[in-house]
């Protein structure tokens, strides 16, 4: 009997200790994807947002949304022509999750802006997209860029970090 109890306790300790920490925290390694540039500031998806926001300067507006249950906030900063949204990674660092164009005063590095003809998107980014017709999504490593098309022209442009649950 005593032997059995000892075995059970040892097994419990091994079960608890035998597993390592959870999956690799996002943001721990540099992830590569599409880059947006604004006023000389390079904005990478998944990048630490604090430095970028400091370089961009005071936003015109700010909005934050607490997630349904978890600590940490999704934050949106409004600048001239675009919005930048962040998410808290596993280390509680705010990382860039979305860049969304609001008007045609900004363009992608590849020269596409709101109002660009649909054909220009494919010319700039190629055939390796998903969607087609109403939208074109190009994926590169840990992020994507999506163009929504209305009446033959780009109606919206969204850079989106690939994050579990988003």
Partner 1 sequence: MKKFLTRLTSVILAVLILAFIQELLMPKYMDSIREGNLVEEYYASNKDHDVVFIGDCEVFSNVSPITLWEKYGITSYIRGSAQQLVWQSYYLLEEMLEYEKPKVVVFNVLAMKYNEPQKEAYNRLTLDGMKLSKSKIEAVKASMTEGESMISYLVPLLRYHDRWRELSGEDFRYIFKKEPISHNGYLMRSDTRPVTVVPDGRKLPDYNFGDNAWHYLEKMTELTRENGIQLMLIKSPSVYPYWYDEWDQQIEEYAEKNGLSYVNFLPLAEKMGIDYSKDTYDGGLHMNLTGAEKFTDYMGGILMETYALEDRRGDSKVADIWQDKLAYYNWMKQDQEEEMQKYGYLKSYGAAAQAIEQEDGGQTRQ
Residues that bind partner 1 (CB under 8 A): 1, 4-5, 8-9, 12, 15-17, 19-22, 61-66, 68-71, 76, 78, 83, 100, 131, 134-135, 137, 146, 148, 150, 155-156, 158, 164-165
Structure-token pair, residue 86: 């962040």
C-beta separation of 144 from 160 below 8 A: yes
CA–CA gap between residue 67 and residue 151 (Å, rounded)? 35
Q: Minimum Å distance from CB 76 to partner 1?
A: 6
Q: Which is nearer to partner 1, 40 or 152 (CB)?
A: 152
Lookup result for tokens 């409004």: 78
Q: Which is nearer to partner 1, 56 or 155 (CB)?
A: 155
Q: Which is nearer to partner 1, 40 or 120 (CB)?
A: 120
Q: Minimum Å distance from CB 23 to partner 1?
A: 8
Q: How far is CA 141 from CA 51, 76, 160, 163, in A?
A: 22, 23, 11, 12
Q: Minimum Å distance from CB 29 to partner 1?
A: 19
Overall residue count recorded for the chain in this entry: 166
Structure-token pair, residue 4: 């059995």
- In the Cβ-directed half-sphere of 22, how many Cα atoms lie within 13 Å? 4
Q: Which is nearer to partner 1, 30 or 103 (CB)?
A: 103
Q: Minimum Å distance from CB 40 to partner 1?
A: 26
């Amino acid at each position: 009997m005593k032997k059995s109890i000892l075995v059970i306790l040892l097994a419990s300790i091994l079960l608890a200790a035998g597993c390592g920490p959870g999956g690799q925290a996002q943001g721990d390694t540099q992830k590569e994807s599409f880059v947006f540039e604004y006023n000389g500031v390079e904005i990478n998806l998944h990048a630490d947002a604090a430095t970028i926001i400091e370089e961009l300067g005071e936003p015109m507006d700010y909005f934050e949304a607490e997630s349904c249950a978890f600590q940490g906030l999704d934050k949106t900063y409004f600048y001239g022509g675009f919005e930048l949204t962040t998410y808290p990674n596993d280390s509680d660092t705010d990382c860039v999750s979305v860049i969304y164009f609001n008007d045609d005063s900004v363009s992608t590095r590849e020269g596409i802006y709101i109002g660009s003809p649909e054909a220009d998107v494919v010319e700039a980014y190629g055939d390796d997209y998903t969607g087609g017709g109403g939208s074109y999504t190009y994926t590169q490593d840990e992020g994507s860029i999506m163009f929504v098309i209305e009446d033959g022209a780009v109606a919206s442009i969204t850079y989106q970090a690939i994050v579990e649950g988003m």
